[in-house]
Chain A
Amino acid sequence: MITHEIVLPIVLPAVIAAVIALTMRRDIALARTASLASAVALLLLGIALVSLASDGSVRTYALGGWPAPFGIVLVLDRLSALMLLLTAVLAVAVLLYAVNGWDTRGRHFHALLQFQLMGLNGAFLTGDFFNLFVFFEVLLIASYGLMAHGGGARRVAAGVRYVVVNLAASALFLFAVGLLYAVTGTLNMADLAVKVPEVAAADQALLRSGALLLLLVFAVKGALVPLHFWLPDAYVNAPAPVAALFAVLTKVGAYAIIRLFTLAFGEGAGDAAWLAAPWLMPAAMLTLLLGMFGVLAARRLAAMVSFAVLGSMGTLLIAVALFTPPALSAGLYYLLHSTLAAGALFLVADLVAERRAGHGDALVAAPVFAQSGLLGALFVLGAIAMAGLPPMSGFIGKLLILDAARDAFNRNWIWSLMLSTSLLAIIGFARGGSSLFWKSASFPGRLDARQPMRAALTITAAALLLAANAALVVFAGPVTRYLDATAAQLFAPSDYIDAVLGAEGGNE
């Protein structure tokens, strides 16, 4: 039976993007409809793919019918299905937010957004490293456009820095790909997993350099210290809905690290097994520390959220760097949670900035603004989630990670670091929230407190992400069961390898 639904998450946004760019340039209403329809379709598709993948089988799709090590292959397993669904949820919320006016501040917003979705979905589905590079470039080139969307000197300058950093990382990516190909003669991830243990001792150094170079590249995408410097700059200056979408962009780096270092350099990799662990753990710890200190030091809400994203990448990668199935499962839960929470907070920050004319989202007391109570409630929910307090999902995520680190040799470090940085985050968010909402309440005078026109949609978008975050708590049981199975699948890559390499004409 032909399962073309695997290729649909890539084809659908690509086609819609081209149609929007070519035929709907002047009709924003039509472009909005098409873009939203595509995002909703991707959401439904994501749900279908997750239920398809939840039976534990690995499905492959050989493009052009070429068998796996030679042709391009897409692979759907539990992890990639989950990432597709997460991207789609975020995309729907971001679009709901953007159709309220952000998309008219520059040109081609919807086409670029669809191309970005195509690149993201492709990166999650692809089964070989060169196509990972290609999809990275697709999503990046769309993100360059989105980053500079709306213009302004500061935003464009930040965009140039973002482009340059990512282009340098792309060059490194190609060096790494070349090294791996020179040593193993393949770029297919499953084939690589077979070939890596057979690499001769003389070539081990090359193999390790290639793998660690890849780690470096993914660390740039994931904003791991010391390669994090571009993130606050880019995220603060990006348009709000774009920053919310970028919350999943850093997770692509984490996804690639998980994929590479469980599949090709995992248990069965011989001398190169668990190559990344000694490098990843200290970097992740430093990222967490720096991110949460940033939260404490930020003077704008958007900067605060950006540093919280940085900190959440640290937490996530601490869980990944433990390289045990329970820790990975906990890390994936935290990945879902932090993406949704960061997306919601970026939207709230923009809602606040929009209503505080002249003050923006700077964390200083200013006269009361319209809907400050409602936005305050949204902010509190998002901040609670981000800092890891109950009842939002950050609490469960952090608890799962702490529990999974119980047997790690550096348990005391991990526990003390995670608990103390949570305190930093709580203080930071409490300080920001109290000056934005409480101190402002007793501030003399009122900003123009008319209810903004058509604000319902934007607030719905932020609330939708928070609701998804809350749903993670309500359905924590089924979600963690799925994630446990995902982690187990990642730590037993033989199924993946068999499915890809034994799939001659698998989609016929």
Chain B
Amino acid sequence: MEFLVATAIGMLTATGVYLLLRARSFPVVLGLALLSYAVNVFLFAAGRLAVDLPPVIRAGRDYTDPLPQALVLTAIVISFGMTAVVVVMAARAYVESGSDRVDDEAGGTGDGGGR
């Protein structure tokens, strides 16, 4: 199971980074989403992998570490919100500039011209 989880995290991260480097808004948003999935699984694994154990501490019973689950929950909520923000801003940038490039190419450098 460790091997599977590690592979999954690796694959998600690699795909996410690749998509980020495509520098067009839709792949970048997808890449960020995949990256945050990878992070979430990684956080989950940080509390040691366990099968069929509740994240509730009770005397005399086995349990799995509840803290990573709380962290993942927070991280999911935050990354969901952030994805929404980046989608809105990317759509706005596309509408205003007519280009979906995230890097400098279309917008020009920040140095010339007025504001």
Contacts and interface: CB of A to CB of B under 8 A. Distances in A.
B110 A233 contact: yes
Contacts of A153: 93, 96-97, 107
Interface in B1-51: 16, 20, 25, 28, 32, 35-36, 38-39, 42-43, 45-48
A171 B71 contact: no
Interface residues of B, number: 45
Interface of B: 16, 20, 25, 28, 32, 35-36, 38-39, 42-43, 45-48, 67-68, 71, 74-75, 78-79, 81-82, 85-86, 89-90, 92-93, 96-97, 102-104, 106-115
Given A160-B93, A164-B102, A232-B110, A171 B39 contact: yes
A159 B32 contact: no
Contacts of A144: 85, 89
A233 B46 CA distance: 36
A177 B71 contact: yes
Interface stretch (A217-225, A295-303, A326-334, A420-428): A295-303
B111 A298 contact: yes
Nearest to B9: A175
B35 A171 contact: yes
A175 B37 CA distance: 11
Contact of A164 (B20, B42, B47, B113): B20
A364 to B, nearest CB: 11
A171 B90 CA distance: 19
Interface residues of A, number: 46
Nearest to A168: B20
B106 to A, nearest CB: 7
B85 A237 contact: no
A244 to B, nearest CB: 14
A181 interface: yes
B111 A152 contact: no
29 contacts: A141-B81, A144-B89, A152-B96, A154-B110, A156-B92, A156-B93, A158-B110, A160-B89, A163-B86, A164-B32, A164-B102, A167-B86, A168-B32, A171-B32, A171-B38, A174-B42, A178-B39, A178-B42, A178-B43, A178-B46, A178-B68, A178-B71, A187-B67, A237-B110, A300-B112, A302-B115, A358-B114, A360-B113, A362-B113
Contacts of A178: 39, 42-43, 45-46, 68, 71
Interface in A157-209: 157-161, 163-164, 167-168, 170-171, 174-175, 177-179, 181-182, 187
A167 B68 CA distance: 20
A151 interface: yes
A187 B74 CA distance: 15
Contacts of B45: 178, 182
A435 to B, nearest CB: 15
A359 interface: yes
Interface class of chain A by DSSP: helix
Given A164-B20, A164-B86, A181-B67, A156 B96 contact: yes
Given A174-B75, A175-B39, A362-B114, A163 B85 contact: yes
Contact of B47 (A174, A181, A358): A181
A72 B104 CA distance: 41
Interface string A259-299: 00000000000000000000000000000000000000011
A160 B86 contact: yes
B46 A182 contact: yes
Contacts of A158: 107, 110
Interface in A206-258: 232-233, 236-237
A353 interface: yes
A303 B110 contact: yes
A134 interface: yes
A325 B35 CA distance: 39
Contacts of A163: 82, 85-86, 89
B10 to A, nearest CB: 12
Contact of A360 (B35, B82, B114): B114
**For B78, B90, B115, which residue has the most chain A Cβ atoms within 10 angstroms?**
B115
A450 B86 CA distance: 42
A421 B9 CA distance: 44
Interface string A299-341: 1101100000000000000000000000000000000000000
A168 B48 CA distance: 25
A438 interface: no
Given A141-B81, A144-B89, A160-B90, A353 B107 contact: no
Nearest to B112: A299
A161 B102 contact: yes
Contact of A151 (B47, B68, B96): B96
A148 interface: yes
Nearest to A232: B110
Given A153-B97, A168-B32, A170-B82, 4 more contacts: A157-B106, A159-B93, A178-B43, A182-B46
A175 B42 contact: yes
A179 B47 CA distance: 10
B41 to A, nearest CB: 10
B115 A237 contact: yes
A160 B110 contact: no
Contacts of A159: 89, 93
Contacts of B81: 141
